[in-house]
Amino acid sequence: MRLLSLVLGLLLLSGCKPDKPMPDNENAVTAFALQRFVDEEEITGAVTAVVGPDGVIALEAFGLADVAKKRSMSKDSMFWIASMTKPMTAMAVMMLVEEGKVKLDDPLEKYVPAFKGLQVRTAQGLVAPQRLVTVKDLLTHTSGIDTAPATPPNQPVDTMPFAEMCDAYAKKPLTDQPGSKWTYNNNAINLLGRVIEVASGKSYADFMQERLFDPLDMPNTTFWPNPDHMDVLAKPYGKDKQTGALVEAKNSRFSEPLHDLKRTPFPAGGLYSCAKDLAKLYQMLLNGGELNGKRYLKAATLKQMTTNQLGDLPKVSFAPGMHMGLGFHVVHQPQEVTESLSVGSFGHGGAFGTQAWIDPVKKRAYVLLIQRTDLKNSDQSDIRREFQKAAKEAYAK
């Protein structure tokens, strides 16, 4: 690193600029491991973090957050973390389970009455479900609820009132018998947000703020980034179909003004955050649900959330060797992209390639933040595999 600093200094003195942005960190372990993905135009840059029970072990930022403006990634860069929201929603549900306000076997219709009498679509026509959809079914993606998004007639779905959106999911019959099949389901997780509202008497967003983000001191975790956040928000990029080059992608989650409170706070994927904030959440999980003397979840509850809930049900999760917990995907047999993780590691990814995985054996959490819109399967990306491999070798031997 001394040599790197010397070279950079000479370049600046000579009036030249380096061809590549220098990593914003001291050791640059994962930055150098992932540099080839920048060189090959798979990503424009990234922020990575390795977290232990006592806090952040390594925090690195490299590449560009905004190519057009030549704005570098920084340790404070914010990202749309998309489905990394899901486990946080699940944590909130389990807080209410601990308080006796929700039961895992409660029928969904208790909280969203529009689901009363909903039938199952089969090749022979509509039939009655063998049992009702439960809260646990929502948490494990086995509800059978139709996965098509709600489509309001006269407004964008991003501004559809939350309760109205949840009622709209009940307008289509179930696609499978409850509990019979794992199907990744954003609608089911959004419905958990409505469960939280009815059981707690608070809006979903307020509950998350009061029970997780404020007490954990996560000031840059929000459903509504404010104008100041725009200076550190990483832009999304995808491949141009003609040239193969990375170009800025258009996506409703980046359509300003992002601070408009009319925008729906999707429990399945609405959050924006940064590595420093997320590190506090995962530090709490590494400590069995407790941080700085405050308990967020009982250790037994967290164990339940990160234990296989579906037995031998086939085709669970997006990578081989996985099980499904309550809101978390769980590594059962480490292989391929999960080869650097221990049995029992748990976590979740996001649509634009963000990843966070907690290894309870090595006592490490690995956070990868990128904004690549069109990865075929971000959970199985080479970027994730190489990051976790480098991070384990450097910080979790």
Whether the predicted pLDDT of 236 surpasses 50 = yes
pLDDT of residue 5: 40
218-231: average pLDDT = 96
pTM for the full predicted model: 0.93
pLDDT of residue 4: 38
pLDDT of residue 152: 78
Whether the predicted pLDDT of 151 surpasses 90 = no
pLDDT of residue 296: 98
- Residue 346 near residue 81 (C-beta atoms within 8 A): no
**Banded model confidence at residue 22, pLDDT cuts 50, 70, 90:** very low
Whether the predicted pLDDT of 202 surpasses 60 = yes
- Residue 313 near residue 183 (C-beta atoms within 8 A): no
Six-digit token string for 173: 């019959």
167-180: average pLDDT = 97
Q: For the domain 88-208, what is the CATH superfamily, name and number?
A: DD-peptidase/beta-lactamase superfamily (3.40.710.10)
- The whole-angstrom distance between residue 4's C-alpha and the CA centroid of its chain comes to 34
pLDDT of residue 19: 36
Q: How far is 320 from 298, CA to CA, in rounded Å?
A: 29
The pLDDT > 70 percentage for the chain reads 93
Q: Do domains 18-82+225-260+269-290+342-395 and 88-208 have the same CATH topology?
A: yes
pLDDT tens, 263-315?
A: 999 999 999 999 999 999 999 999 999 999 999 999 999 999 999 999 999 88
**Banded model confidence at residue 156, pLDDT cuts 50, 70, 90:** confident
**Among 120-134, 150-164, 231-245, 338-352, which stretch is predicted with the lowest mean pLDDT?**
150-164
| Three-state DSSP state, 300 | helix
* Phi, psi for residue 247 in degrees, rounded to 5: -130, 155
CATH architecture observed for domain 18-82+225-260+269-290+342-395: 3-Layer(aba) Sandwich (3.40)
Instruction: Tell me whether residue 82 is exposed, middle or buried, using C-beta atoms within 10 angstroms of its C-beta: 0 to 12, 13 to 18, 19 or more.
Output: buried
User: What mean pLDDT value characterizes the chain?
Assistant: 92
Whether the predicted pLDDT of 107 surpasses 70 = yes
Q: How many CB atoms lie within 10 A of CB 96?
A: 19
Q: Taking the domains of the chain in order of start, what are their residue ranges?
A: 18-82+225-260+269-290+342-395, 88-208
The pLDDT > 90 percentage for the chain reads 88
pLDDT of residue 6: 35
| Beta bridge partner(s), residue 233 | 78
Whether the predicted pLDDT of 51 surpasses 80 = yes
pLDDT of residue 25: 61
**Banded model confidence at residue 16, pLDDT cuts 50, 70, 90:** very low
99-119: average pLDDT = 98
**Banded model confidence at residue 17, pLDDT cuts 50, 70, 90:** very low
pLDDT of residue 27: 66
193-210: average pLDDT = 98
Q: How far is 347 from 354, CA to CA, in rounded Å?
A: 11
Cα angle 391, 220, 212 (rounded to 5 degrees) comes to 85
86-115: average pLDDT = 98
pLDDT of residue 121: 97
pLDDT of residue 157: 77
Residue that has been written with the tokens 């971000």 in this structure: 378
